Structure 1
């Protein structure tokens, strides 16, 4: 479950080619068994929002599970034993012990996610899509636009302005979410 977290997007892109290729892809070969025409995934942009979301979740789920499992493992088992003696059900232990003690980790992970919400994982998009112009309508993100503006157009000022705006909005979101975290859970806020 945690292995995909340690794989680079280049390796995952190789997996996606072996799954999605029109001629030799595993998905199209399975569709061919049912008499369905092969799908040209690398020429049809409509499939890619789903493919990218599935790939990102698959690759990132291991990291989240490690963080949350480490937090839950750090909870003193005597607390659960005391709750069992008092007659608490499994649901009560989750609701009144686990969730309140995991709340600081949830808030920290939310703050980290909000800081990167405007960053569209350039490594993932560029490894999976590359310079496939047919897929730009649904796969182009701010990071790939900045890269193209700099490399193809040579427009350094536009690339710098867009990158700065992206960082500024991310910073504002972190400050806003941190102030909300401070309001609801002062001990969980970063600053």
Structure 2
């Protein structure tokens, strides 16, 4: 009898395992085909990739292309503009990580304080909607305001006796414009994540704080923010890992690829794209992507170690 019971439990365990594996399998196959297998192409970063007309297959081209070592990496640091786009990439990311954290947490707390569910859901939808728009669509929204002849701001400035600004030829305004665009598009997504964490806080803790005489600000400080610490640290670590990357769509389409704005809008991704299209050198773009991922990996490990020293429970791994 005991043996039959044991066999039934083993069979049930195997059945449950198969069900769980079948659920995981589509995602595992997706990662294998689209994330792990393409990693073999990293070798392109160390070769001068050429297309051979006699047998123009990828593997034949790859095997017969000349090995150039680290030559493809040098172009990132070989020009006078290297410091400009590296500074822009890191500077924008640092600013947006800090600003995105503050704004997202603030909006999440505000939305949580709205008592009318319909109003709260409406605000959530309006904030989350821009996240699904492409930067091409967003660039037309920006153009509607900044167009030098028909833009809303241009007409407003003319109507008030001011000289219209040529936005698409003045680099000094674009750090602010790009920051506003980034916050407008991405804040909603982060806000939803923080709001989900807030709604998971036990309501009895707020009741206890209220009974003890805590004001609303004190409840936020001593109840809400401590419970958000883990979520903040995890998202912060993940964002630090992308500090050497940039949103290509934002920096390429919103400024309309204006050459006069490169001092403010040129970042690593747009620079690599422009070099690759002019030289048709795939090895250079692969080298840039590999370097960005290596720097991101180091940043994630470093940030995680720092968080572990401060609060081990809030670390990513």
Q: Give the TM-score taking structure 1 as reference length.
A: 0.93
CA separation of 1:32/1:130 partners in 2, compared to 1, >3 Å: closer, same or farther? closer
Match of 1:31 in 2: 157
Match of 1:11 in 2: 137
Q: How does 1:5-154 map to 2 (within 5 A)?
A: 5-154=131-280
Structure 2 runs not aligned, ≥5 long: 1-126
Find the aligned partners of 1:31 and 1:58 in 2 and give their Cα distance. Answer: 23
Q: Aligned to 1:39, what secondary structure does the other structure show?
A: coil
CA separation of 1:46/1:11 partners in 2, compared to 1, >3 Å: closer, same or farther? same
The number of equivalent residue pairs is: 191
Match of 2:26 in 1: none
Native 8 Å contact 1:149 1:156 kept in 2: no
Match of 1:159 in 2: 285
Find the aligned partners of 1:95 and 1:36 in 2 and give their Cα distance. Answer: 45
Structure 1 runs not aligned, ≥5 long: none
Native 8 Å contact 1:5 1:60 kept in 2: yes
Deviation at 1:5, TM superposition (A): 1.8
Deviation at 1:149, TM superposition (A): 1.7
Find the aligned partners of 1:9 and 1:65 in 2 and give their Cα distance. Answer: 20
C-alpha RMSD over aligned residues: 1.5
Deviation at 1:51, TM superposition (A): 0.8
Deviations 1:40-84 (A, max 9, x none): 111222221111111111111111211111111111111111222
Find the aligned partners of 1:102 and 1:181 in 2 and give their Cα distance. Answer: 14
Match of 2:312 in 1: 186
Query: 297, 302, 317: which is aligned to 1:171?
Result: 297
Q: Give the TM-score taking structure 2 as reference length.
A: 0.58
Find the aligned partners of 1:29 and 1:143 in 2 and give their Cα distance. Answer: 34
Q: Aligned to 2:275, what secondary structure does the other structure show?
A: helix
